[in-house]
Amino acid sequence: MRRALALARGVWGETQPNPMVGAVLVEDGVIVAEGATAPDGGPHAERRALEALGRPPRPGATLYVTLEPCCTEGRTGACTARILAAGIRRVVVGAVDPNPAHAGRGLEVLRAAGVEVVSGVLAAECADLNLIFNHWITRGTPLLAAKVASTIDGKLACRTGDSQWITGEAARADVHRWRRLFPAIGVGAMTVLHDNPRLTVRPPGGAESCPVRFVFDGLLRTVVEKNLPRVFTDEFRGRTIVVTTPHGGLGYVRKLRDLGVQVWVIDSPSQRVPFAAFRRRCVEERISGVLIEGGAQLISELLRARELDYLFAYHAPLLFADDKARTIFSGLRPERVAQGVRLDEVRHESFGGDVLMRGRLVYPEKMLVDEAVFRLR
């Protein structure tokens, strides 16, 4: 199963809208064929492993697959039917498919046909591989995740604003790896104005590519500047979507559209885009996940609205110990530990001296909010 997981990771970010899956065929304890999901809705991993074998599997062969084989006729035909046709009598499965159309039915189909099925092997790791897909398919809404890079004391910049770089090269390369997986990245207006980021994917030695780039800018302050930010002028500007409100001004909307930048004007009583409406628009456009990369204000607003689903927190072995240094999160006022926001399904990874803690956010039933903080904004 570990080998199958490695195969699935080998097609990282290439399989949308399908999940990443790996499969391994074993005869007499020896791996004889391997497969991973093909790009762009192509054949699934099980089918590719069987094709790679190029002959019928020997009696007693075992198929290992990271995700439950599908049992519905999609574009590529049901994998359960292909497995049965190949005469495989033993299948070892990692995660059960969370897709309600499948959800264990593939296992039932195989068992009903007399196949020995072992499921749940390295299940958490296999499920984690498709965290965006799983959220999308079960909840029907995009996974809104935030990435933050901070010191041990939770600071993302010095009091002067200097923030480059808090984490090291390896951790920053990992962010690029996640960017490759998420169909979209998002940032707040102030991050665009301060940092003028490219928000592209730049794998070491690979070609630069660009996910959808959301800029949250309720008043279109990023358009006022004479020197426009590069997300509005570079060769990927057609991938930039400015998310704004009717309070932003029609002239600026026109200016952006003339540049070839997309604009979503979302109805709002204030200058802030309601995140629930933003989610609905993402569903309409089939955008299954957004990685919000800052800044502090946008991420804190998402948290307060209970709209942040997932967090990637990179911590550097660095201390500012300055209460005027900038903090990432603000605006909540828990009075008890139980009123804090916790991470579930937590995973840790290290990159040189830096540590990534990531997980799904679990909000307390009663979340106390500091109204004063948000009134000031």
Ligand X SMILES: NC(=O)c1ccc[n+]([C@@H]2O[C@H](COP(=O)([O-])OP(=O)(O)OC[C@H]3O[C@@H](n4cnc5c(N)ncnc54)[C@H](OP(=O)(O)O)[C@@H]3O)[C@@H](O)[C@H]2O)c1
Q: Active-site residue numbers?
A: 46
Cα→Cα distances 354→7, 127, 265, 320, Å: 26, 25, 39, 16
Question: Do residues 277 and 141 touch, judged by C-beta distance below 8 A?
Answer: no
Question: Do residues 245 and 220 touch, judged by C-beta distance below 8 A?
Answer: no
Indicate the residue among 17 and 161 with the shorter CB distance to ligand X.
161
Q: Shortest approach of ligand X to residue 155 CB, angstroms?
A: 9
- Rounded CA separation 56/301 (Å): 56
Q: Shortest approach of ligand X to residue 267 CB, angstroms?
A: 12
Indicate the residue among 150 and 288 with the shorter CB distance to ligand X.
150
Indicate the residue among 86 and 171 with the shorter CB distance to ligand X.
171
Q: Shortest approach of ligand X to residue 165 CB, angstroms?
A: 9
Q: Shortest approach of ligand X to residue 270 CB, angstroms?
A: 8
Q: Shortest approach of ligand X to residue 315 CB, angstroms?
A: 11
Which residues touch 284 (CB under 8 Å, ≥6 apart)? none
Question: Do residues 211 and 179 touch, judged by C-beta distance below 8 A?
Answer: yes
Q: Shortest approach of ligand X to residue 163 CB, angstroms?
A: 5
Q: Shortest approach of ligand X to residue 75 CB, angstroms?
A: 37
DSSP 149: E
Residue entry with tokens 């932003």: 248
Nearest to 284 by CA among 347, 246, 241: 241
Indicate the residue among 191 and 240 with the shorter CB distance to ligand X.
191
Where do the H-state alpha helices sit in the chain? Answer: 2-9, 45-53, 79-85, 105-112, 123-128, 131-139, 169-181, 189-195, 250-259, 275-284, 296-304, 371-376
Report residue 331: phi and psi, to 5°. 105, -5
Token pair of 131 as six digits: 């965290």
Collapse the DSSP code of 19 into the 3-class scheme (helix H, G, I; strand E, B; otherwise coil) and give the result. Answer: coil
Neighbours of 205 (CB within 10 A): 5
Indicate the residue among 136 and 278 with the shorter CB distance to ligand X.
278
Question: In Å, how far from its chain's centre is CA 4?
Answer: 21
Indicate the residue among 50 and 184 with the shorter CB distance to ligand X.
184
Give the binding site for ligand X (CB under 6 A).
148-149, 156-157, 161, 163, 166, 187-191, 194-195, 216-219, 221, 271-273, 293-298, 301
Q: Please give the sequence-ordered ranges of beta strands (E in DSSP) within the chain, or none if there are none.
A: 22-27, 30-36, 62-67, 90-95, 116-118, 143-150, 155-157, 184-188, 212-216, 240-244, 262-265, 289-292, 310-315, 326-327, 342-351, 354-362
Indicate the residue among 99 and 167 with the shorter CB distance to ligand X.
167
Say if residue 251 is exposed, middle or buried (CB neighbours under 10 Å; 0-12, 13-18, 19+): exposed
